[in-house]
Structure 1
Amino acid sequence: MKKIVPFLGACLLGVFLVVSSGCGVKGWPEPQGEQDAFSFVKVSFDRENDCLLLKAVIQGNADNLDHFALLLEQDGCVTCPFQPERRAVFSLFDDRVHMLGDTVQISYCGLDSEKPLRFRLFGINTLEKLPPADSGVLQ
């Protein structure tokens, strides 16, 4: 009986320490909005034959940039709501992506040069709770 009492006391102390260590914890860290976010200040583009050449200036914490997503529409009418037919995803290490300071250049080829083009560029944040940077629909 004498050996059980210290063991039981140690177990109770261990349980108490584990349970009480969570006191005062509010939850997981949350993104800090403006400190962690980024946006596109300016997006410009050129078309050369079957390629789209994008240039975007990023404002904010570009260190949190994970990847880009490009939505494209070529078969829709110009006055209709934007309905993308293709999606291209670019990692920061993609050969078609070139970062220089706060400016990114992206090239995407394989378009029909005879058809009008509408597109939308998104910059996806590494912090999933923050919305992506959005260029809006460009044509």
Structure 2
Amino acid sequence: MQPSFRLVLATLAALAALTLVAGCGKKIWPEPSAPEDAFSFVRTQGELSSGCLMVQSRVAGAWRNLRAVHLELAWDDCEGCPFQAMETREFVPGDAFSTLEQGRLALTACGLDPAKAYRWRLTGKSIHRTLRDVRTEVMTTTP
């Protein structure tokens, strides 16, 4: 091998090693860079009436950054079991079944069995798609 060829191989090997090492390290989900980017759900409540779950919540913080809300539903037929949504419905603030005004969210999900109890929670999606979803605690609504 010629000395210049060895130098090129050594340089390429060093660059490959740097590329591999640069990808290592702790990876975490991005957090809002400033408090004005974040929102949270507070005072969330729901009522099941005539097969419709009517949910109201206050969205604290940067409520204008709320892009969509997912309502995750499961039957409340397994006491003590971890929550696992059987159905997810998406609501975009301002569509026919949801409103978001001055940080007050209201949504209505119909077509539910009025004789069943449900466990549910809200998951908020930010307009900043790289930010972590915001979830409420799991709620229970009885007929």
Q: TM-score, normalised by structure 2?
A: 0.71
What percent identity do the matched residue pairs reach? 31
Provide the secondary structure at the position in 2 that maps to 1:136: coil
**Structure 1: which 5+ runs fail to align?**
1-29
In the alignment, which residue of structure 2 is the partner of 1:108? 109
Structure with greater Cα Rg: 1
Quick one: distance in 1 between partners of 2:79 and 2:110? 21
Provide the secondary structure at the position in 1 that maps to 2:64: helix
Quick one: distance in 2 between partners of 1:59 and 1:119? 20
Quick one: distance in 2 between partners of 1:31 and 1:82? 27
Quick one: distance in 1 between partners of 2:130 and 2:35? 13
Quick one: distance in 2 between partners of 1:59 and 1:77? 32
Quick one: distance in 2 between partners of 1:95 and 1:89? 12
1:98 aligned partner, one-letter code: T
Contact residue 31 and residue 129 of structure 1 kept, 8 A: no
Count the aligned residue pairs. 110
Q: What are the residue-to-residue correspondences of 1:35-114 with 2, within 5 Å?
A: 35-74=36-75, 76-114=77-115
CA offset at residue 124 of structure 1?
0.6
1:79 aligned partner, one-letter code: G
Q: What are the residue-to-residue correspondences of 1:23-38 with 2, within 5 Å?
A: 31-38=32-39
Contact residue 40 and residue 59 of structure 1 kept, 8 A: yes
Quick one: distance in 1 between partners of 2:35 and 2:132? 11
Quick one: distance in 2 between partners of 1:62 and 1:103? 9
In the alignment, which residue of structure 2 is the partner of 1:129? 130
Contact residue 41 and residue 56 of structure 1 kept, 8 A: yes
Contact residue 71 and residue 88 of structure 1 kept, 8 A: yes
CA offset at residue 33 of structure 1?
4.1
Q: TM-score, normalised by structure 1?
A: 0.73
Quick one: distance in 1 between partners of 2:45 and 2:32? 29
1:51 aligned partner, one-letter code: C
CA offset at residue 75 of structure 1?
6.0
CA offset at residue 69 of structure 1?
0.5
Q: Residues 7-58 of structure 1, C-alpha deviation per residue, up to 9 Å, x if partnerless?
A: xxxxxxxxxxxxxxxxxxxxxxx84242201001110111111010000001
